[in-house]
Amino acid sequence: MAEDHDIAGILALTTEDVRAMPMDLDRRGIKGVLWRTFKYYGPMKILYPRPNIELNEAGNQASARVPFLIVKKEQTFPGLDQLRDDPLAWLEAIGDNADLYKLSLTIIKQDGDWRVQRTLIERFTGMGFDTE
C-alpha cells in the first residue's frame, strides 16, 4: 500500500486510537506524514526482510519488528530477495549502501481483525541494529 501511496488503505489497518511514535501522532498526523513522505519519494519501493513477530499468550496482541528501506522505484539491489528469511544477512548486504529504518508495531485483535495500535519508526545508523 505504501508503494501505491494508498494512505486510506494503510489507515484502514489501524485502530481508531492509533499512535505513531516518536512524534506521538494520531491518525490525522499520520496521514500528513505519509502524504509528505510519498510526495518526497514519488514512485518508490520498500525493501525489507521477513518481520520478527511475537504473539502474546492470549493470542490477542502481537508485536512486530522489521528493518526497511525506501528507495526510488528504479533502484535495484541484486540478490536481496534471497535474503528475506535472514534479517541479519539482509542488513549486512544493504546496510552500507542505504539509509535504513526500523519499524516496530503493536498489533491487537479487534473484532476478529488484526489492527495496528502503535508504531515506532527509528532511523538506523551504525552497527547496533537489532532485529529482535
Residue 132 lies in a domain: no
Cβ partners under 8 Å of residue 33, min gap 6: 20, 23, 25
Residue 1 lies in a domain: no
- First-to-last alpha carbon distance for the chain, in angstroms, is 25
Q: What's residue 128's pLDDT?
A: 47
Contact assessment for residue 52 and residue 131, using Cβ atoms and an 8 Å cutoff: yes
CATH number of the domain residue 105 falls in: 3.10.450.50
Least confident residue range of 16-20, 55-59, 88-92: 88-92
Cβ partners under 8 Å of residue 46, min gap 6: 2, 3, 68, 69, 70, 71
Residue 113 lies in a domain: yes
Kindly report, residue by residue over 60-99, the tens digit of the pLDDT: 999 999 888 888 888 888 888 888 898 888 888 886 666 6
Is this structure's pTM higher than 0.85? Answer: no
What's the domain count of the chain? 1
Residue 60 lies in a domain: yes
Mean pLDDT, the chain, rounded, equals 88
Residue 31 lies in a domain: yes
Residue 129 lies in a domain: no
Mean pLDDT of 37-64: 92
| Residue 69 structural domain | 7-124
